[in-house]
Structure 1
Amino acid sequence: MAIFPLRLRDLRYQPNGRAVLAGIDLELGDEGITLVLGPNGAGKSVLLRVICGLVEPSAGSMAWGDEGARRPAQGVMMVFQRPMMLRASVLHNAALGLRPFGLSRRERARCAMTMLERVGLADRADDSAHQLSGGEQQRLALARAWLTRPRLLLLDEPTASLDPSASAEVERIIREIRTDGTRILMVTHNLGQATRLGDDIVFMSAGRVCEHTPVQRFFSRPQSDEARLFIQGELPWRMRFPSP
């Protein structure tokens, strides 16, 4: 079953009456990297969790593919800012995502080792995953998700706590995953990263999507007051924008 386009209509999440998502309208096609930007508390991470099925929306609709299925049959994976690792080897953690595919243990190990080579962790295959640095754990989490060949990969600030070198490695892997045919929706606070990785920007504020536009247009001519203020406040120099 095709899962694109993905259409969200008036999607809401209101735990205890508090509007975390306050009517999200968004449509995603089947290609590219979309970066989700916005201030703290805008609902960015919750949006990813709703799409992934980890959080049940309070109202609204989410339709997958031309047939408008309520949930995708398969093909959606999520990687968190602090990925969870089993107390097992790097190789075992990488192969974990292949268990539902009916492969033998030997075949899972072979595929996992090939993927570890792609993310630069083959030499750590026998080490405990808990011995890896933060950047290495994030690369392992990406490898584990990539092994399943997801159609949509959701990334929640995958470089938030990493140094520039580790962030660059993670960004390289994300580009390769996109080139391999996976659609990516990624939350970040790093505006430089957004310009390097993104094809388009979803800007959120107060639980709503204020803009969904190509990257260059977003940074050169934001259409909402919220986006202009966000960009001016986040960049280390002051930007002036022409009047809308």
Structure 2
Amino acid sequence: MRQPVFALHAASVHFGHPARAVRALSEVSLQIHAGERVALVGANGCGKSTLLRLLHGLLPSTAGRFEPDPALRQAMLFQKPHLMRLSVQANVALGLWLQGTAWGQAKALALAALAKVGLIDLAQRNARQLSGGQQQRVAMARAWALQPQVLLLDEPTASLDPTTTDRVVALLQSIKAEGVAMLAIFHHPELVDRLADRVVTLTPPVSAAELLEPIAS
């Protein structure tokens, strides 16, 4: 039996003052195992992005139990990646440097990652001058360069044209072949079929009427 890289037990996330809090995620129990590829689906507002941010340590759980592994190497790819006003190469190298890699080595590893995503010719370009699809591929190179055991993906093909979507999917398939566990939000069934081993469906935690009632502290 593979060991879980993530384990949540009735985990919830609430926003706002306790007396008037809104449930963004309600009592989710979930395990993701090493090497597993899971698609996260559900209607808007059901907590998919909140769940990814909880798993990545960007949000605390309000209730329940979340058992993160401090030694786990993980990376997250956001729907709209944030890139610094630096070269493409420096944007990728920066994450490695922050993890303790010497700057010279980080730059060399960044070039290898850019080669993987087909952007090595743009290594010295200002990252913010690239197209949306190119920026998404830079963000993917930055994530892959960290050699994560788990990759969290928040709609990685949102707002991309079909050609760029195919390129991103091909990159994700190559990462999948390397045994990296993935938890990804997808809205297109075709992407679920191509990239996922298992599907997890989230439903909205509360109705609109329930949002008017305070959550018991």
Q: TM-score interval w.r.t. the shorter chain?
A: 0.7 to 0.9
Q: Which amino acid aligns with 1:80?
A: F
Match of 2:81, SS state, is coil
Amino acid at match of 1:54: L
Q: Does the alignment pair 1:7 with 2:7?
A: yes
The answer to whether the aligner puts 1:24 opposite 2:23 as a matched pair is no
Question: Counterpart in 2 of 1:49?
Answer: 53
Distance 2:132 2:143 in 1: 17
Contact map agreement 1:3 1:72 (CA 8 A) in 2 = no
Within-5 A mapping of 1:63-142: 63-64=67-68, 71-142=69-140
1:148 corresponds in structure 2 to 146
Aligned residues: 201
Q: Output the TM-score relative to the length of structure 2.
A: 0.87
Equivalent position SS for 2:79: coil
Distance of 1:102 and 1:77 partners within structure 2: 16
Mapped to 1, the partners of 2:3 and 2:153 lie a distance apart of 18
* CA-CA distance at 1:89 after TM superposition: 0.5
Q: Return the offset for 1:101.
A: 4.1
Indicate the structure whose relative CO is greater, using CA pairs within 8 Å and at least 6 residues apart: 2
- Gaps of at least 5 residues in structure 1 are 65-70, 209-244
How far apart, in 2, do the equivalents of 1:118 and 1:77 lie? 17
Mapped to 1, the partners of 2:115 and 2:22 lie a distance apart of: 45
What are the ranges of 5 or more consecutive residues in structure 2 without an aligned counterpart? 207-217
CA positional deviation for 1:41: 0.5
Counterpart Cα distance in 1 of 2:75 and 2:100: 18
Q: Secondary structure at the match of 2:139?
A: helix
CA contact (8 A) 1:42 1:204 kept: yes
C-alpha distance in 2 between matches for 1:165 and 1:177: 19
Deviations 1:55-111 (A, max 9, x none): 1111011124xxxxxx42341211100000010111111111111343332211111
Residue by residue, what CA displacement relative to the aligned partner does 1:27-71 show, whole Å, maximum 9, x if unpaired? 11111311100000010000000011101111011124xxxxxx4
Amino acid at match of 1:185: L
Which among 200, 203, 206 is matched to residue 201 of structure 2?
Answer: 203
2:4–2:31 contact (8 Å) kept in structure 1: no
Counterpart of 2:132, as a letter, is G
3-state SS, counterpart of residue 44 of structure 2? coil
One-letter identity of the residue aligned with 2:141: A
The one of 32, 36, 42 aligned to 2:40? 36
Q: In the TM superposition, what is the alpha-carbon distance from 1:3 to its structure 2 partner? A: 7.5
Provide the rounded CA distance (Å) in 2 between the counterparts of 1:61 and 1:172.
35
Q: Distance in 2 between matches of 1:116 and 1:182?
A: 18
Identity of aligned residues (%): 37
Q: Which stretch shows the higher mean deviation, 9-18 or 34-43?
A: 9-18
